[in-house]
Amino acid sequence: MGKITSVHNRLKNRQKNGEIDLKVIITAPRGKMGKLIAKAAFYRQGIEIVAGIAPPG
């Protein structure tokens, strides 16, 4: 099972259990800092990441 499939399955399970209260769009820089911000939001309870936006380049 790939990383993306694993993340998708976890999100589906959280939705079924009624654990997601807030959907967010993350605006962050590319690279390590963007990954850190997205990871922190992903592991916080009650938040679903809908989209991620980064500057071009």
Average pLDDT (11-40) is: 82
Q: How many domains are contained in the chain?
A: 1
Q: Which residues contact 22 (CB under 8 A, 6 or more apart)?
A: 46, 47, 48
Q: Which range marks the domain in which residue 30 is found?
A: 3-53
Residue 16 has pLDDT above 80, yes or no: no
Per-residue pLDDT, 3: 63
* pTM of the model as a whole: 0.57
DSSP secondary structure string for all residues of 15-42? HHTT---EEEEEE--SSHHHHHHHHHHH
